Structure 1
Amino acid sequence: MTSQSSGPDGVLFELPAEPPAERKQEKKRSDRPAPRRSAERLPIARVVVDTPLPHLDRYFDYRVPADMDEAAVPGCRVRVRFNNRRLTGFLVERVDSSEFGGRLAYLDAVVSPEPVLTPEILGLSRAVADRYAGTLSDVLRLAVPPRHARAEKEEPGDPAGAVPVAPEAGPWTEYPDGPAFLGELRGGRAPRAVWNALPGTDWAEAIAVAAGTALAAGRGSVIVVPDGRDVERVDAALVSVLGEGRHVALTAGLGPSERYRRWLSVLRDRVRVVVGTRAAAFAPVRDVGLVVLWDDGDDVHADPHAPYPHARTVLSMRAHRAEAGALIGGHTRTTDAQMLVESGWAGALVADRATLRRHAPLVRAAGDDRELARDGAARTARLPGLALRVAREASRAGPVLFQVPRRGYLTTLACAGCREPARCDGCRGPLAVRGSHAMPSCGWCGRVAGAWACPECGVTRMRAVVVGDRRTAEELGRAFPSLTVRTSGREEVLSRVPDAPSLVVATPGAEPVAEGGYAAAVLLDGWALLNRMDLRAAEETLRRWLSAAALVRPEGTVVVCADVRSPVVQSLVRWDPGGFAERELADRRELGFPPAVSMASVTGGPEHVRELLDRVDLPEGVELLGPVPVGPERVEGPAGPGGTHTTERALLRVPRAGVGELARVLKAASAARSARREEHLAQIRVDPLHVV
């Protein structure tokens, strides 16, 4: 392309065209974005990047662009460039300068200007991560729910209104120290109690009264219960005591959008009372004055995701940091709760014996001397005569509960000759019967064992070792043909049953509430609970039995089918969970078992466990136990030869005062492995739920 121009004599001539390379450079300069300018005020943002790698568990500095100055507020979600990837994170704070000597990148985007991470929850999450040798981003993933933009854009509702009047003491009058506990809450102080609730279902009302008393003092409450059914009970009690609109219930069953909408109402200080499952322990309640944990011995309070925090520890730390009251309650008392009492951190809140006798049902053991004189098979029969007589008489007045430790049909089989466990000929997995017309099959590979023969003695017949809830319901249906038999377990959990003659077969934790209470309860197969290879077997057995017995009417009867000489059975008969917890904790202290001491576990392949332990500089007072092989049911990772997992576990035992230092050195070792991309080869858990 050329252009024309005229010279001095008026003759036109051609000018050379502009070189193409220069035009390209000019176009490239015009397309280049204008240089970004940092915000004039507090131009540096400190960000928690969402990465689970332990060696990256720290704040990273970024520049705040001027166009994001207003939106980039502390606590908001941001997106940043990190290791050539776009990752999300939380903006923790903005500062004037950075200690980093290199060139800082800019924030990529502000996902939302909503400050979802409050300073209190950030501090609590950091403390929980340090306590469990985990990362801050892992804890924040548990504490802050995923964002839903539509819920954020909705107009916030009106606050609940004026501070309500403190409710009447109600159920707390049954406890000698109950009114004093409420008085401390009413005065804005921080009482802490381990509460042994009386039998019955008014525990939810008692929690609601305590939350209402704290609210009347201008402070919020966080209530954590094991499951959705308990949330429903406390939710109804809170509506009755506080009225509509003064609290929210947070459960996974709400769905992500509705749950986030309710969580936002707490964040925006529209309500100050929250009830939910374990994740609710991090709810951003403004000015917390009371934390409540119901049934702290239930396994579901331990989070299955890293760093595996327990709701009891989280709430205890939150109460301590916020100078709030604490109420850790249940029908039983765990050894962990007993530790809080004996350390002086909390007081015992119990009813006197006269009040307890007025509320508790009669508890009878099927194998006591009086019953043995009447029925010689009382200690060996699965359904002894006492249980059948009590069930037959009580079923005329109302529903009767049968608690069965196992779900399924015939869940464990053994040789009828030598009593050796029946195992699959192919993979050596356990054999079981799934239904009334099913053949024995392997629980691991599914192979049907139609031509099974015992490899020890050659007998081809099997016997049931553990009978599940479905087989029990089938047997009871034949024994009580005129009564309706209902089951409540994993597949279908009932919430309530009517006050009418019927039989209810339930697994532990799935017992429905009967209107007016059960007329009787039969606790079957006590040996299956007591003989488990678990440090907490006796404690957990008493918890399950008391939870079921608490649903029985005061005039009803509870029959426990277990050895009457067992200390657990004796504690149930006397309804003495506090005394049992004292003796159990004394035994654990003498033997050096949790919770008298703290423990951490390191699990993985033998070479990885040993390599990590060799690199850890263990603090003084830490004792190494193991490593030893662990059972295949607890193993994660690739399978070794023959289909079995080659995994070992080492336990580190330390006095409770030294658990923080132990967690610190384990975190440092985990960070070193993470930097070498080996972080998943050995798993670290502080205070594991199961140690044997």
Structure 2
Amino acid sequence: MTSPGSAKHARVTAEQLPIARVLPLLPLAHLDREFDYLVPAEFDEAAQPGVRVRIRFAGRLVDGYLLERVPSSDHQGKLGSLDRVVSSERVLTPEIATLATLVAARYAGTRSDVLRLAIPPRHARTENEEQAPVPAAEVTSIDTAAWDRYSHGSAFVEALAAGRAPRAAWQALPGEDWPRRLAELAATVVERGEQAVLVVPDQRDLDRVHAACVDLVGKSRAVALAAGLGPAARYRRWLAALRGTAAIVVGTRSAVFAPVPRVGLVVVWDDGDDSNAELRAPYPHVREVALLRAHEAGCGFVAGGFARTAEVQSLVESGWAHDLVAARGTVRECSPHITVPGDSDHALERDPTAAQARLPAVAFAAVRSSLDAGHPVLVQVPRRGYLPSLACAKCRAPARCRRCNGPLALPSGGDDVASSPTCRWCGIADPSYRCRVCGSRALRALVIGAGRTAEELGRAFPGVVVVNSGGSEVVDTVKAGPRLVVATVGAEPVAVGGYGSALLLDGWALLSRADLRATEEALRRWMSAAALVRSGADGGRVIVVADPGIPTVQALVRWDPVGHAQTQLAERAEVRLPPAVRVAAVDGSASAIAALLEIAELPTDTEQLGPVPLPEGARKPFAGDAVEPIEVERMLLRVPRSAGAALSRALADAQANRSARKNDLPVRVQIDPVDIG
């Protein structure tokens, strides 16, 4: 071990285990290692493994974590002393320290970056509050009969209760009260004296799951962790998990690192949601962190959702996890009746324009029937706004701003696209627009947004309340009764008693995205919305406006997320894309990428793809962009899964090498990013 400097003043050293090994929280990759410091006698009692410390490093004070106390050091020079122990609270538990090491290795990052994600900033006043005694576990009687609807469901719950650490991929039935089901699993673990960590994509899901958990184990035994909490509230709840006061932790992304003393179950709901991908280095995905934690801790694991990702399917096919799905007869009983206009000759005979219309006659009939029955209707739209995407009506060239080349849109108002279009980037209107390709002044809408859709439906069904949900105004729930709910994807409110019908519009907009996961994401969005609709036996109907011949559309009609995931996995294996292989995306300037690859000792079977200009929407800010933005390219490095660990290690070592040489050309490394293209 090494030490960066010596103590400023001589201090009496602790007699027992006088050496502290400290991990400094430094951004430089080559400093991601422990350093030895002397423990002053005055800190002997407080300086325990897991506490926050301050150390003098290269002449300045930096934060760090004390990892362990040892009797001697390998460093031959003079050792410095701990400057101070920030707090005696042992915030870095051995389990989380190990998990941070595993995550850093998996994602070619540093432990200090991972620990910034895992441990919130200290709030001294909250930490010094009188600690409440750990309440006795008083679990309300758990009725797990609903799990009998799933093949091996009851056996899974029994295995969880017995502490056998089962692992499952759960496909929730349409209309399922999934927050209650997750709470039942968590309470089962609490009953045997362990804790559960439940991770959900957003605040709306968090509120629902937390409420279900409180109902079973009580308010004092279930805490909700989210980034939106204030510093004091967040730290107080995090301490409740650390100290064992909380038996169930429900939270978003960073909650996967919750430091519960004895984790018995880790659950990830809807792992395909892009909110589960961390936006800060080393860019870990919640699902992968949960897998590492469940494997290392030997605890239960559940990846649940209405749809299924190829990554979860690969876990099932490898035997690491097992299917938890319902029989086809049960699925048919619970599913709404799903139809695609134009999928049969009979439908085309009654409505010849059904295959081309945005709102065919069958959709209007379904809406009218549900409203007459007193049920709300959900209308899912891929885009918010009014007319968020315009093109030349003559040559179909995208309409661009003459000042900044941004996309033109009609954000609100107006009865047609002849109104003045406005740039979505600079906000300047262009009343005299002329196509730069053919010179035409006429415009057409490529995509119709939620605002325009709500306006059109309001005119078609006068007197019916129209509710908008999307953007900064997301509605959580809607009351029962006849009303139209127009929502962007991901912002669909839960209706009391369920929706009578749902219209899934502009399916092509989701399916045609230039993205590896476009079809998987489309099915996930559609199933999440369709699951809010009443069953077919209760008159629930879902109308999907999309090409009926597309396999993804047919998977929705059959409600077959597992079959779709199997197909996706097979297709990716054929073209060698994740999760069948391991891919690293290296972003930076051409010279920076070349410099990194020159010193990286990559596995012999590494395949280099690129570099190419970074895909639109995938660029994240780089240091120095404010002064002079750089031209960013992307190089993909592809290896077999068996060489994934070697690839991550090679890139991490190369980054450390560059850092030690003070190479300041920015390079970003992401392992298996969700936005490959």
Which amino acid is 1:188 matched to?
G
Deviations 1:72-94 (A, max 9, x none): 11111111111221111111111
Q: Deviations over 1:170-195 (max 9, x none)?
A: 32121121110011011111100000
Q: Contact 2:213–2:248 at 8 Å: present in 1 too?
A: no
Instruction: Give the unaligned 5+ runs of structure 2.
Output: 1-7
The aligned counterpart of 2:15 is 40
Instruction: For residues 128-164 of structure 1, give each alpha carbon's deviation from its aligned partner in whole angstroms, at most 9, with x where no partner exists.
Output: 0111000000000000011111111111112120464
**How far off its partner does 1:446 sit?**
2.8
**C-alpha distance in structure 1 between counterparts of 2:390 and 2:70, whole Å:** 66
2:395 paired residue among 385, 395, 418: 418
Cα distance, 1:557 vs structure 2: 0.1
In the TM superposition, residue 645 of structure 1 has moved relative to its aligned partner by 5.7
Alignment of 1:201-600 (within 5 A): 201-369=176-344, 370-396=346-372, 397-437=374-414, 439-554=420-535, 555=538, 556-600=540-584
- Aligned pairs for 1:112-191 (under 5 A) are 112-162=87-137, 164=139, 167-191=142-166
For structure 1, which segment, 559-568 or 156-165, has the greater mean C-alpha deviation from structure 2 after superposition? 156-165
Do the aligned partners of 1:229 and 1:495 also contact (CA within 8 Å) in 2? yes
Alignment check: 8 A CA contact 2:140 2:216 kept: no
1:616 alignment partner, one of 600, 607, 617: 600
Among 614, 627, 638, the alignment partner of 1:653 is: 638
Say if 1:162 and 1:615 are closer, same or farther in 2 by CA, change over 3 A.
Answer: closer
Kept after mapping to 2: 8 A contact 1:440/1:449: yes
1:687 is aligned to 672
| Percent identity of paired positions between Structure 1 and Structure 2 | 53
Q: Which AA in structure 2 matches 1:382?
A: R
**Contact (CA 8 Å) 1:494, 1:511: kept in 2 or not?**
yes
Q: So what's the TM-score if we normalise by structure 1?
A: 0.93
Change (3 A) 1:216 1:169: same
Root-mean-square deviation (CA), in Å?
1.8
Asked if structure 2 preserves the Cα contact closer than 8 Å seen for 1:156 and 1:265, the reply is no
CA contact (8 A) 1:166 1:213 kept: no
Q: Is residue 367–residue 561 contact of structure 1 (8 Å, CA) maintained in 2?
A: no
- CA change 1:124–1:684 in 2 (3 A) is same
Q: CA deviation at 1:165?
A: 7.2
String of CA shifts for 1:467-515, please: whole Å, max 9, x gaps.
1111111111111111111111111111100001000011111111000
Change (3 A) 1:637 1:257: closer
- The whole-number CA distance in structure 2 between the counterparts of 1:644 and 1:385 is 51
Q: Displacement, 1:35?
A: 3.5
Secondary structure in 2 aligned to 1:173?
Answer: helix
Aligned partner of 1:574: which letter? R
Structure 2 residue aligned with 1:8: none
Q: Match of 1:296, SS?
A: coil
> Which amino acid counterpart does residue 572 of structure 1 have in structure 2?
L
* Counterpart code for 2:378: L
Q: Contact between 1:316 and 1:326, CA under 8 Å: does it hold in 2?
A: yes
The residue matched to 1:78 in structure 2 has which SS?
Answer: strand
Structure whose alpha-carbon radius of gyration is higher: 1
Task: Report the TM-score when normalising by structure 2.
Answer: 0.95
Q: Distance in 2 between matches of 1:474 and 1:85?
A: 61
Which is further off, 670-679 or 171-180? 670-679
Q: Is the 8 A contact 1:77 1:116 kept in 2?
A: yes
1:69 is the counterpart of 2:44: yes
> What letter is aligned with 2:486?
V
Answer yes or no: is the 8 Å Cα contact 1:166–1:186 preserved in 2.
no
Output one character per residue of 1:12-34: Cα deviation in whole Å (capped at 9) or x when no partner.
Answer: xxxxxxxxxxxxxxxxxxxxx98
The answer as to whether partners of 1:192 and 1:345 remain within 8 angstroms in 2 is yes
Q: CA deviation at 1:198?
A: 0.6
State how many pairs are aligned: 659
Partner amino acid, structure 1, of 2:500: A
> In the alignment, what sits opposite 1:14?
none
What is the Cα deviation at residue 617 of structure 1? Answer: 1.9
> Which piece of structure 1 moves more, 332-341 or 447-456?
447-456
AA of the residue aligned to 2:358: R
In the TM superposition, residue 614 of structure 1 has moved relative to its aligned partner by 2.2
Aligned partner of 1:449: which letter?
D
**Equivalent AA in structure 2 for residue 500 of structure 1:** G
Residue by residue over 1:440-473, the C-alpha shift from the partner in whole angstroms, topping out at 9 and shown as x without a partner, is 1222333322211112111011111011111111
Q: Aligned partners of 2:44 and 2:522: how far apart in 1?
A: 58
Q: Which 10-residue stretch deviates more, 454-463 or 626-635?
A: 626-635
